[in-house]
Chain A
C-alpha cells in the first residue's frame, strides 16, 4: 500500500445468524470496506476492546448479549467507541427504533436491507472519519 492509498474503513458485522453475517459482510466487502464479524454482543464488545472500528452493523436478537446491550456497552466508558452504529432487525414494532436510538444507535433498519442501500448508508456514515 502506498502513502496515497487511503486505509479502508473497518466495519464490524454483529449477528448470531451465520447467513446474515455472510450477507452483510459480502455487501460491505464488495463496497470496499474491511469487514470483521462477531456472533453476539459479547464477541462484538471483545472485538471493539481489541481493535478500532469505523462502523458497527448490529442485530437486535442475539444470545449471550442482545444488540441493545451491545450498543450501550460500545458507547459506555468501558469501550468508549464513538463510531456510528446501524442496528438491523426483523422487529418493526412501534418503539423498536426508539429503543435502538436510546441505546446509542445512529440508524435503525428493518430486515431485509437491500445491498445497495446498506452500502450507501455505510459509505455515508463513515465518510470523513479517519479510518482505523
Chain B
C-alpha cells in the first residue's frame, strides 16, 4: 500500500488589525501622547485632505520628533500648497522650527521653485539666509543659478556668504569671478573675504 501523505493542519490566517481611518488619525494629532501624534502624522502620508490639518500644526507642535514626522509627511506631497504653508516658518523665531522647515523644503524640488521669487525678495534677510540653506540641498538643476543670483544681487553680506557656502560644494572655475566680485562688493566683511580666498585656489587649480 502506498504511503498516504498526512494533510498538514490548516493554520488559521493571521488577522491584522484594521489601520485607523482618516478621522481617527486626524483626531490623534491632538493626542497628549507624542508617540501617538507621531504615528498619526506618519499614517496620514497619503491623505490629501489632511494637509491643512498638518500645516496648522507645524507652528504649534512642540515635540521635535512629532514635528519631524509632520514635516516628513507634508514634504512627501511636494505641492505648492505644502511648500507655501511651510515657507512662512522660515521667518520663525524658533530655531528648531525654521531649520526643520528648511530641511523639509530642500526635499521638495517640484514646488519650491515657484516660491523662490518671493523668498529671494523677502524683506527679512534672515529668511533669505534660510533660503540659501534650502538651495544648498535642493535637488534641482536651477539651484546653482539661483545661488549665483543671490551672490550677485543680494544687498546683505550674510545672505551672500550663506549663498557662497551653499554654492561652494558644486562650484567650478567659472564661478571664481563672481566670488571675487562678491568680495569687492563687501570689502569690510572678513568672513566673506576669508571664505573666497580659501576657495579660489581649488576652483582655479592653483591649490
Give A contacts to B, CB under 8 Å.
Answer: 17-20, 22-23, 26, 60-63, 66-69, 90-93, 95-96, 99, 111-115
* Contact between chains at B190 and A90 (CB < 8 Å): no
CB distance from A72 to the nearest CB of B (A): 11
* Contact between chains at B165 and A90 (CB < 8 Å): no
The CA-CA distance from A23 to B158 in the complex, in Å, is 14
* Contact between chains at B98 and A17 (CB < 8 Å): no
Residues of B within 8 A of A90 (CB): 125-126, 129, 158, 162
Q: Please name the residue on chain B nearest to A116 by beta carbon.
A: B190
Residues of B within 8 A of A23 (CB): 191, 194-195, 198
Q: Does B130 contact A (CB under 8 A)?
A: yes
Binary A-proximity of B130-171 (CB < 8 A = 1, otherwise 0): 100100000000000000000000000110011011001000
* Contact between chains at A112 and B161 (CB < 8 Å): yes
Interface of B is mostly: helix
Residues of A within 8 A of B168 (CB): 18-19
* Contact between chains at A112 and B95 (CB < 8 Å): no
Residues of A within 8 A of B199 (CB): 19
Residues of A within 8 A of B189 (CB): 112
Give B contacts to A, CB under 8 Å.
Answer: 93, 95-96, 98-99, 102-103, 125-126, 129-130, 133, 157-158, 161-162, 164-165, 168, 189-192, 194-195, 198-199
The CA-CA distance from A68 to B98 in the complex, in Å, is 13
The CA-CA distance from A29 to B164 in the complex, in Å, is 24
* Contact between chains at A91 and B99 (CB < 8 Å): no
Residues of B within 8 A of A67 (CB): 95
Since A61-B133, A90-B158, A113-B191 are in contact, a sample of 14 more A-B pairs with Cβ atoms closer than 8 Å, ordered by chain A residue number, is A17-B165, A19-B198, A19-B199, A20-B165, A23-B194, A61-B102, A61-B129, A62-B99, A91-B126, A96-B93, A111-B161, A112-B161, A112-B189, A114-B190
* Contact between chains at B99 and A61 (CB < 8 Å): yes
Q: Given A66-B96, A90-B129, A90-B162, is A111 in contact with B103 using a C-beta cutoff of 8 Å?
A: no
